[in-house]
Amino acid sequence: SANEQTFIAVKPDGVQRGLVGDIISRFEKRGYKLAAIKLVTPSKEHLEKHYEDLSDKPFFKGLVTYMLSGPICAMVWEGRDACKTGRMILGATNPLASNPGTIRGDYAIDVGRNVCHGSDGVESAKKEIALWFGKDEVISYKQSQFDWIYE
Ligand code: DAT
Ligand code: MG
């Protein structure tokens, strides 16, 4: 459905490198609707919760330290197949394997500095949106160009 939502974040390296506008632009131009956005500096506990499925990985501690290294731009994007297509817009987790034309394939080299996050499915998107945003922060509105994007 055109109501699917995904949680997209520009990680601290992406914010510091001035990539927020470009990343927003890619989702806008594709036709997705911005449903929520804020710049945040979450706690260690919040980030450990966000990545809880990876807590037994050897890179977990470094991942949390990286995510704590500066502000993060947290967003919710909405539209048909938003989770799967959002991941395609981001590119593969390891930027050396990301195709050119994707965010990571255009702007990153190391997996531990891969610029952006995107939910890996509808269920994780729901969990992540609930973790990062209050209900009143996710806005419901009609996208004026809707009928020009969807048939
Ligand atoms: P993704 O961010 O593409 O969903 P993931 O959920 O498997 O990837 O991992 C979350 C983040 O953890 C990822 O964006 C970067 C880091 N990471 C993943 N695999 C890693 C590895 N092998 N070494 C270092 N960092 C890694
Ligand atoms: Mg993931």
Q: What is the pLDDT of residues 81-131, one digit of tens each?
A: 999 999 999 999 999 999 999 999 999 999 999 999 999 999 999 999 999
- For residue 150, the tally of other CB atoms under 10 A from its CB is 11
pTM of the model: 0.98
Show the tokens assigned to 125: 């998107």
Closest CA to 6 of 150, 130, 118: 118
Ligand number, closest to the Cα atom of 90: 1
Percent of the chain with pLDDT over 90: 99
Phi, psi of 115, rounded to the nearest 5 degrees: 70, -35
Burial 89-117 (b: 16+ CB within 10 A, else e): bbbbeebeebeeebbbbbbbeebebbbbb
Q: Which helix (H) or strand (E) holds 36?
A: strand 33-40
Binding residues for ATP: 11, 59, 87, 93, 104, 114
Atom of ligand 1 nearest to the CA of 87: 3
ipTM: 0.98
Distance 137 CA to ligand 2 centre (A): 23
DSSP symbols for 43-66: -HHHHHHHTGGGTTSTTHHHHHHH
The separation between CA 54 and the C-alpha centre of its own chain, rounded to angstroms, equals 17
68, 111, 124, best to mutate for ligand 1 pocket (most atoms within 8 Å of CB): 111
Ligand 1 centre distance from Cα of residue 58 (Å)? 11
Q: What is the pLDDT of residue 148?
A: 98
> 23 alpha carbon to ligand 1 midpoint, in Å?
19
